[in-house]
Amino acid sequence: MTKTVVTVKFFASLREHVGQAESEILASDAQTVAAVWQLSTNGMELPENTLMAVNMEYVDADHPVQEGDEVAFFPPVTGG
């Protein structure tokens, strides 16, 4: 079965900032990670230093997105 959606996840302070942990958008509506951000946050400004991942690998904002992908946005990491 072909998934036509892109799953979008937000973590930590960015989750609180955008007011949602997870959403889905139609893959046909967004071709890049930057476009996924625009659509899933209703055009909020992307905070400086935001990290982005596609299918759990770090990418840049212009990275292409395909149906079935999981796109994540989060602030700089602070583990350890």
Partner 1 sequence: MLIEIKERSFEPYECLLEYQNTADFSGKYGATAVFVGSMRDFNEGDDVQNMTLEHYPGMTEKYLEKISKEAATKWDILDSLIIHRVGEMLPNDPIVLVAVWSAHRAAAFDASRYLMEELKSRAPFWKKEALMDGDRWVAKNT
Positions that interact with partner 1 (CB under 8 A): 9, 11-13, 51, 53, 56, 58, 72, 74-80
Rank residues 43 and 77 by Cβ distance to partner 1 and give the closer one: 77
**Among the residues of the chain, which ranges form H helices?**
12-18, 33-40
| Shortest distance in whole angstroms from residue 11 CB to partner 1 | 6
How deeply is 4 buried, as exposed, middle or buried, from its count of CB atoms within 10 A (0-12, 13-18, 19+)? exposed
| Shortest distance in whole angstroms from residue 52 CB to partner 1 | 11
| Shortest distance in whole angstroms from residue 66 CB to partner 1 | 18
HSE, CB side, 13 Å, CA atoms: give it for residue 1.
Answer: 2
